[in-house]
Amino acid sequence: PREADEDSGDEKRALLHADDPAQRPAIVRDTLVLLNSVTPFDIRFKKDHALVGRVFAFDAVAKAVGSEYELKIFIEYPLGSANVYNSAAGVAKQMYHDCMKDPGKGITSGFKCIEYEMKHGAGDWRLLAELLTETTRFFKEPIKKDLLPSPHSEGAVPALPPALGPMLAPRLLLP
C-alpha cells in the first residue's frame, strides 16, 4: 500500500512539473506565444451572426504524465458579459441554445460552428476549425501563420479583469 501512495505522489509531482510552462515542449510554448499575441479577437456563431463573443486567451493542459498536450481556449460570450467558457464546445452549445434555429440537431464540433474575424470590420470570417485544426490543438503541427487574426479590442466592450486569464479558477468558468 505504501508503494502505491509513493507512486501516486511521484505521478502528481510529474504532472505538476509537466504543467510548468518552461518544461513544455517547444511547439507548445511557441504556439501559445503566437496565439496569445493575437488576442483578443471576435468570434460568432455560424448559424446566427448576431451571437458574438471574443477569444481572449489560450493555454495548454497535459492529459497525463508523458502524454500529449491539448490546447485550451478561453472565450467570453456574449461579448461584454464576462461569462467565460474554457472550450469551443461549451460556447457553441450555448450559442446553439440561444439561437435555436435547428431544433433537434446537435453540435458536432464547437470549432466547426464558430467563426472568427480575421481583421475587425473587414467582413472576412473563417471557421475556427481552419485556424485551430485538430493537429494544431494537440500540438502535432505548428499553426498556419497566414490564418492568424488581428487582435481587436472593442472600445465599447469592457476589458476582462486580469483575474480572468488562463489561471482562472475552475468555478468561474462555464462548461
List, in sequence order, the alpha helices (H) in the chain: 2-18, 26-36, 88-99, 110-113, 128-131, 134-137
**Rounded to whole angstroms, what are the CA distances from 100 to 9, 47, 51, 107?**
47, 9, 12, 12
- Separation of alpha carbons 56 and 39, rounded Å: 5
**Model confidence pLDDT, tens digit, residues 135-161:** 999 999 999 999 999 987 766 666 665
**Model confidence pLDDT, tens digit, residues 70-107:** 999 999 999 888 899 999 999 998 998 888 766 556 66
Q: Are 164 and 172 in contact (CB under 8 A)?
A: yes
Question: With a threshold of 0.85, does the pTM exceed it?
Answer: no
What is the grid cell recorded at 20? 510548468
